[in-house]
């Protein structure tokens, strides 16, 4: 489990030298949500989806980047690199999430733009899901009071139930993630992201060969 924690920890960008206008102000530990790094099969197809969802595309060296309030999505596949062996479901990072002001209005816009979005579970109108061509599962939730049309919200980890207290304590100790609950799940909060921890009894795929790689990286200047 310590290895699984270490795989996921580098997603957070330490605030020293931070120069990215859309990142949230860091907490007392100097930590804020940084970026997702996607080993993408089709960079352009994925970029179109993230831009249609409300992100802003920029170029950062060899990377195509789509910025949202609270997170940057890095899209890249290095020369000779193998394509991802699978998506997020079934891995430690089961899915990630955004908040929008109105889920139904967002779904209508996104469907018209070709975004693969489906309704939420059990007839919920305040929830939806997007699955990218790289099989990244993205939960969409509603916050009518937020000022931005879309912003980063959460990363949802699936780990063995016995490991949840250890994971929660680890993120609090090293990154200042305030312990709490999100719904029925134990969680931790850092600026720009809720870290939700769910129990699973299914085998968990390792990060190797997956679509999301968590790396600490200096974000580009806005």
Beta partners for residue 196, in sequence order = 156, 187
Number of domains in the chain: 1
Domain-embedded: residue 218: no
Domain-embedded: residue 220: no
Domain-embedded: residue 205: yes
Q: What is the pLDDT of residue 17?
A: 37
Domain range for 29 = 2-213
**Owner of token pair 């060969």:** 209
Domain-embedded: residue 219: no
**Owner of token pair 């129990």:** 199
Domain-embedded: residue 138: yes
Contact yes or no for 68/57 (Cβ under 8 A): no
Domain-embedded: residue 166: yes
Q: What is the pLDDT of residue 6?
A: 42
Domain-embedded: residue 157: yes
Q: What is the pLDDT of residue 14?
A: 40
SS3 of residue 179 by DSSP: strand
Q: Which CATH number covers residue 70?
A: 3.10.180.10
How high is the mean pLDDT in each 10-residue block of the chain (222 residues)?
Answer: 45 40 80 86 94 94 91 82 78 93 98 98 96 94 97 94 94 91 96 93 60 40 35
Q: What is the DSSP string of 58-120?
A: EEETTEEEEEETTEEEEEE--TTPPPPSB-STTBSEEEEEEEES-HHHHHHHHHHTT--EEE-
pTM recorded for the entire structure: 0.86
Domain-embedded: residue 126: yes
Q: What is the pLDDT of residue 90?
A: 86
What are the structure tokens assigned to 125, written together?
């109108």
Cα 177 from Cα 163, distance rounded (Å): 17
């Amino acid at each position: 489990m310590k290895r699984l924690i270490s795989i996921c920890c580098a997603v957070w960008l330490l605030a020293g030298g931070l120069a990215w206008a859309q990142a949230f102000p860091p907490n007392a530990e100097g930590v804020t949500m940084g970026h997702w790094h996607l080993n993408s099969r089709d960079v352009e197809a994925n970029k179109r989806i993230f831009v249609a969802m409300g992100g802003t595309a920029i170029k950062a060296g060899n990377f195509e980047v789509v910025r949202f309030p609270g997170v940057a999505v890095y899209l890249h596949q290095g020369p000779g690199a193998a394509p991802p062996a699978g998506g997020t479901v079934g891995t430690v990072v089961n899915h990630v999430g955004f908040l929008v002001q109105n889920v139904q209005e967002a779904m209508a816009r996104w469907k018209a733009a070709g975004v693969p979005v489906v309704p939420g579970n059990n007839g919920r109108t305040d929830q939806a899901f997007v699955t990218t061509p790289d099989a990244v599962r993205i939960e969409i939730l509603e916050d009518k009071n937020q000022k931005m049309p879309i912003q980063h919200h959460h990363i949802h980890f699936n780990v063995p139930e016995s490991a949840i207290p250890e994971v929660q304590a680890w993120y609090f100790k090293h990154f200042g993630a305030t312990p709490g609950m999100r719904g029925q799940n134990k969680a931790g909060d850092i600026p720009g992201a809720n870290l939700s921890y769910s129990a699973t009894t299914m085998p968990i795929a390792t990060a190797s060969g997956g679509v999301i790689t968590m790396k600490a990286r200096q974000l580009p200047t806005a």
